[in-house]
Amino acid sequence: MAVNNIVLETEKYCNIHDIKDAKHTINKYIRKTPLIQSMFLSRNITGGNIFLKLENMQYTGSFKFRGALNKILHLTEEQKSKGIITASAGNHAQGLALTGKLLGIKATVVMPEEAPISKQNATKGYGAEVILKGETFNDSRLYMQELAQKTGKTIVHPYDDSLVMAGQGTIGLEILEDIWNVDTVIVPVGGGGLISGIATALKSFNPSIHIIGVQSENVHGMTHSIKQGEITPQFTNHTIADGTEVAIPGDKTFEVANQLVDEFVLVSEEEISTAMHQLMQRAKIITEGAGALPTAALISEKIDPRWIKNKSVVALVSGGNVDLTRVSHIIDHLLQPADTHEGVIG
């Protein structure tokens, strides 16, 4: 296995051994998600061999279950007895809530007041206590920290935690199991836990794999921080990719992404909506806004063709927890006559 010096520099946060251990730890609980080729994206859009990694089919409908599970399974019995707490816009919340239910641990989740109703209800459905506090994720995060200090509950951070990153990195190992010679991997980015874990796994195997992070033009704290050379908040407006609505990336994830992610791409709200619509119409995949970010980058042709054309490319569909009312709105907004690409599947 090839390991380059850049990967070694980030091992203090998360390394390939942590990720392999995470896979062993969580394997009996999680679902190995499908990796399917999209002929529509391959033949009609990019000229590459585009594969979709369907984490929208993971338990709780999102990759977040992996990281939350890995973290919580490493807690002491005393920590478990006092309960766990997190802040989340919805997907990490559900991962934490399901893990708490499976392991018999009381879970509390602080969510932004505008968190999607479907994610609030799903989190409650798994048995967690849901507290709505703050306009943004950062507001919820600060309140979570206050509650943790008062109650003694253990914080399970949604992204800035080595065990969480390692759990998300198991996706990278699954990608390599299916396509060992993958050239490019495109990942949605919020706080950075997902791309940090995946990049560590992939770059440890082959440093030449090109890693691309995608964020919304409205909220791209990680991209802005990388550009500035230090953690710098960025928030213009809310985004349909609410699962990635993180204005301030994590300290650990910033360091890993700064070293291992090759480039970042920003997409507009219209481009995200179009990608959601196309994934539904052409690939029969229901995805939330965050899950559609990589596809949005491909459809909008914002990625240099040298990383795509005639390459084996994996675009991660990170989650599928979307309100049906939002799906209906996107369909109504973007509904067009059937295109002329007959005979193309997916």
Asked if 107 and 87 count as a contact pair (C-beta separation under 8 A), the reply is: no
Task: Indicate the DSSP class of residue 46.
Answer: I
Residue 64 and residue 165: Cα distance in Å, rounded?
A: 10
For the record, the structure tokens of 78 come out as: 């005393």
For the record, the structure tokens of 119 come out as: 């994610």
- For the chain, list the strands marked E by DSSP: 35-37, 49-54, 84-87, 107-111, 129-132, 154-155, 184-188, 210-216, 263-267, 312-317
Question: Is there a catalytic annotation at residue 20?
Answer: no
Question: Is there a catalytic annotation at residue 82?
Answer: no
Query: What does DSSP say about strands 107-111 and 49-54: parallel, antiparallel, or unpaired?
Result: unpaired
Active-site residue, selected from the candidate residues 64, 71, 119, 252: 64
Burial category of 63 from C-beta neighbours within 10 Å (exposed 0-12, middle 13-18, buried 19 and up): buried
If we measure between CA atoms, which residue out of 327, 237, 314 comes closest to residue 41?
Answer: 314
Catalytic sites, residue numbers? 64, 318
